[in-house]
A and B are shown apart, each in its own frame.
Chain A
Amino acid sequence: MDFKDTPEEAAFREEVRAWLAANGQRRTRADEMFGEGLDEAAKLARAKAWQAKKAAAGYAAITWPREAGGLGGTAMQQVIYQQEEAAYLVPQMIFEVSIGMGLPTVLRWAAPELKARFLRPGLAGEEIWCQLFSEPGAGSDTGAVRTRAVRDGDAWVVNGQKVWTSSAHFGDYGILLARTDWDKPKQEGLTMFIVDLKAPGVEIRPIHQMSGDSEFNEVFFTDVRIPDQYRLGPEGGGWKVMLSTLMQERLSVGGNLPTDLHEHLIELARTCTWDERPAIEDARVRARIADAYLDQQGVALIISRGLTALSKGKTPGPEMSITKLVAAKAMQDISSFAMELAGTEGLLGADALGGDWPYLQRLWLGSPGARIAGGTDEVLRNVIAERVLGLPGEVRTDRNVPFRDLDRA
């Protein structure tokens, strides 16, 4: 038992370090963001330039075969690259959907000429991909999508609305889950398509989030034509295609909980006073610092177990399923307690307080979204109960019923 690289991993890490040092720009502060001070267009241009360099070196899709533009590497090498890249100023949340969902789905399901058309520009960041699954009436229940695709000769005509689409305002293509048969049970009447987001009839509107940011969009489709050639998988096979897209995430072991939040609490507690004494001396405060560490270090250690499995060429175990559940709530609890440390003054806006506060308040306002995105806490508990513990699925009233009848009910 140790936390060391194997000799092969260490060699790969050295390669990655050398490449990053030659090509990237290191962060100067922990919370420095890529493209600070640039407008959207300039930031996007710089992001695309970085992605092109990365793709040329094979690092855009490390686990893909070389002939598809990857490096033919292991999942562990992918993780090592991410670990090393984290010290650098690189774009966040611009190419994740392209690389993690859109392009793997194209790689798996599209005809050879479409792969030739889409994979290289996608990996190089010239084209950005979105994922169009969720709808206002189909969140956790993704099988309930109502966006309609109707066959018209060699094409399909699409009408409907998608929601929570990240990157759509600067995206080029999307993978779209649409209903092609209303007489089949819900999951059997779905088909997956590639859709051109610049096509006539596609309208993209940003969502104004509770945090004040706009990272997601609504996407409306009005008589949008998609050539049948852009269908991914068989007609009616959309659910299976979607599961294959989501399976990509099973191998991902990246946690999104910072591992130094207890240090932020300690620093704040040294500044704040409780009952006219440094808050850091108060047993209540010290107990919560310990709790913060228990959650964040627990998640980090579970991820280390996942990495161990990857390093041995195995699939990470079921314990990985709890990381998002724990991390998102911990983010909410820890950032809330940070605010409580300052009492009434903790109610002031981050701009008035300075210091760590912009970061801590961003965590606080972002954590409700983190608890929903990628599966709500409740859906995740069902997943753990059913897939890990082997408990029965929910009693369903929507099985074996034509979607048309469900939709009326």
Chain B
Amino acid sequence: MNFDFSDDQRLLQDAVRSMLAENSTSQAVREVLEGRATYCAKVWRNLNEMGAATAALPEAYGGAGLGYLELCLVAEEAGRHLAAVPLSSSIYLAAEAVLRAGSEAQKQRWLPGIAQGEVIATAALGGSERYRAPQPLAFDGQRLDGTSPVLLDGAIAQLAILQVGTELILVDLNGPGVKRIALPTVDPTRPLAQIAFTATPAERLATADGAAVARRVLDGAAVLLAFEQVGGAARSLELARDYSLERKAFGRQIGSFQALKHKMADIYTRIELARAHAYYGAWALASDAPELPRAAAAARVAATRAFLFAAEEGIELHGGIGFTWEMDCHLYYRRARHLAQVIGSEHAWRARLADELIKEAA
């Protein structure tokens, strides 16, 4: 039984943690939160230079060629430190889609730029919930028309991979006929944009089955996002725990009250359950196991619940001070909400988990 990360993988995690502790500070994240920056450029540059963001990208395309287990630990640290960078858009989604569905020429054209951090990329690969009436994308084999309504990091991305029907379409966002509108978001540290296309030159990714690749990429992203969620949840709990040891009321540390202790024990419990599912997802992702759809869905649901719970109760545990702009509690509250919905909600993933379980029990 070896259900854990290796010492070498932990060393990489420690290095990423140190770098982020120094650079992805509350102050740096607030630069983005308060609109003075579109993302933390220095953090993004460091993650790329360290080979952390590109841990799972093959060396042939400029990546570090380590593997998905390493990338999972990078994700955990990014979540813990609220890294305001296009890691999920560029790496978990777009690079993965190009890697899995692109022709050799498409991979050579785009992946090295992504790996160097010069090209920020993004992807829209599904998500079943809708509020506004969609303006469907149409692709005639050469040109793209229509609107992608909520594209992660869409305002800063140069490349987008979009699912149109069952096809995956690659579009250079610096090309003609692209109109970007940056949208306000509940977590401004992870921006979304609407992008309208008018006869924009685009091309198909080479794969025959774009929908299957999209599904596979989303499963991988679910695992990686689960690590971000576990990292963010663990940090939320630490902040609440530390505050409860410092703050006194009724002549005692508030952390000595059983109502608070039990709440924190429950948060810890949910985090550890989520972590266990995330590790299983990491194993399935790294070994390309047939269990990946089930493991990814379970990791997504457990980690979404854990981070939401930790962030919501983290504010509650702080009391009034936790409701202020100056405290970081709301940064975790916002990020937990962002991560909960950025690739489809907990409900959709729970239904997918049930589908997998029922299929297996056939």
The 6 closest A-B pairs by CB, nearest first: A385-B261, A301-B276, A286-B354, A392-B256, A298-B273, A381-B265
Selected A-B contacts with CB under 8 Å, 15 pairs = A1-B4, A1-B69, A1-B282, A2-B283, A287-B350, A290-B353, A290-B354, A301-B280, A310-B1, A319-B272, A322-B273, A326-B269, A388-B268, A391-B245, A391-B256
A337 contacts the other chain (CB 8 A) = no
- Contact A4:B351 (CB < 8 A) given known A262-B357, A322-B272, A389-B241: no
A307: Cβ under 8 A from any B Cβ: yes
Q: Is the CB of A305 within 8 A of B277?
A: no
Structural contact, B3 and A307, CB atoms closer than 8 A: yes
Contacts of A4 in B (CB 8 A): 1-2
A384 proximity list for chain B (CB < 8 A): 265, 268-269
B275 to chain A, nearest CB (A): 7
Q: Does A382 contact B (CB under 8 A)?
A: yes
- A5 and B264 contacting across the interface, CB-CB below 8 Å: no
Give Cα A392–Cα B351 distance, bound, in whole angstroms.
41
**Interface pair A391/B261, CB less than 8 Å apart:** yes
Contacts of B241 in A (CB 8 A): 389-391
Contact residue among A1, A297, A308, A325 (Cβ-Cβ distance under 8 Å from B298): A297
Contact of B351 among A283, A297, A319, A394 (CB under 8 A): A283
- Please indicate the chain A residues that have their CB under 8 angstroms from the CB of B287 in the complex: 1-2
* Contact between chains at B351 and A395 (CB < 8 Å): no
The answer to whether the Cβ of B266 comes within 8 Å of any Cβ in the partner chain is: yes
Does A304 lie within 8 Å of B1, measured CB to CB? yes
Say whether B231 faces chain A, with CB atoms less than 8 Å apart.
no
Interface size class of A (residues with CB under 8 A): 35 or more
Say whether A378 faces chain B, with CB atoms less than 8 Å apart: yes
Contacting residues, chain A, for B237 (C-beta < 8 A) = 389
Closest beta carbon of chain A to B109's beta carbon, Å:
33
Mark interface residues in A1-21 (1 if CB within 8 Å of B CB, else 0): 111111001000000000000
**Chain B CB within 8 A of A63 CB:** no
- A263 to B, closest residue via Cβ: B361
Main secondary structure of the interface of B (DSSP, over half): helix
Q: Is the CB of A394 within 8 A of B256?
A: yes
- Does any Cβ of B come within 8 Å of A293's Cβ? yes
Contacts of B332 in A (CB 8 A): none
B2 contacts A295, CB within 8 Å?
no
Check if A305 sits within 8 Å of B4, measured CB to CB.
yes
B279 shortest CB reach to chain A, Å: 7
Query: If the complex has contacts A301-B276, A381-B262, are A395 and B252 also in contact, measured as CB distance less than 8 A?
Result: yes
List A contacts of B150 (CB < 8 A).
Answer: none
- Answer whether residue B5 sits at the interface, using C-beta atoms and an 8 A cutoff: yes
Q: Which residue of A1, A6, A76 contacts B3 across the interface (Cβ within 8 Å)?
A: A1
Complex alpha-carbon distance, A391 and B258, angstroms? 10
Residue ranges of B at the interface with A (Cβ–Cβ < 8 Å) = 1-6, 69, 237, 241, 244-245, 252-253, 255-256, 258, 260-262, 264-266, 268-269, 272-277, 279-280, 282-283, 286-287, 297-298, 301-302, 347, 350-351, 353-355, 357-358, 361
Given A286-B351, A378-B262, A385-B265: A311 touches B2 (CB 8 Å cut-off): yes
Given the complex of chains A and B, what is the CA–CA distance between A326 and B276 in angstroms? 13
Number of A-B contacts defined by CB within 8 Å: 154
A11 to B274, CA, bound (A): 33
> Per a CB cutoff under 8 Å, which of B6, B258, B260, B357 touches A290?
B357
- Chain B proximity mask over A266-280: 1 for CB below 8 Å, otherwise 0: 110000000000001
Specify which chain B residues have a CB less than 8 angstroms from the CB of A283 in the assembled complex: 351
Across the interface, name the chain B residue whose C-beta is closest to A9. Answer: B1
Chain B residues with CB under 8 A of A388: 265, 268
Cα of A305 to Cα of B353 in the assembled complex, Å: 22
Judged by a CB distance under 8 angstroms, whether A289 is at the interface is: yes
Q: A287 and B298: CB pair below 8 A?
A: no
A302: Cβ under 8 A from any B Cβ: yes
Q: CB of A386 within 8 A of chain B? A: yes
Determine which of B5, B255, B266, B302 lies in contact with A392 in the assembled complex, contact meaning CB atoms within 8 Å: B255
Are B1 and A5 touching (Cβ within 8 A)?
yes
Minimal Cβ-Cβ distance residue in B for A314: B4
Q: Could you list 11 further interchain pairs (A-B, Cβ under 8 angstroms) beyond the known A290-B297, A310-B1?
A: A1-B279, A4-B1, A262-B357, A287-B347, A289-B358, A290-B354, A382-B258, A384-B268, A386-B261, A390-B241, A395-B252
CB contacts under 8 Å to B, within A1-46, are: 1-6, 9
Q: Give the complex CA separation of A113 and B282 in angstroms.
A: 54
Please indicate the chain A residues that have their CB under 8 angstroms from the CB of B361 in the complex: 262-263, 266-267
In the complex, are the beta carbons of A389 and B264 less than 8 A apart?
Answer: yes
A293 to B5, CA, bound (A): 24
User: Is A294 in the interface zone, CB < 8 Å from B?
Assistant: yes
Partner among B5, B245, B302 whose Cβ is within 8 Å of the Cβ of A1: B5
Taking CB atoms, residues of chain A closer than 8 Å to B301 are: 290, 294
B214 → A minimal CB distance (Å): 22
Bound complex: CA A287 to CA B347 (Å): 8
Within 8 A of B (CB), among A241-267: 262-263, 266-267
Contacts of B297 in A (CB 8 A): 290
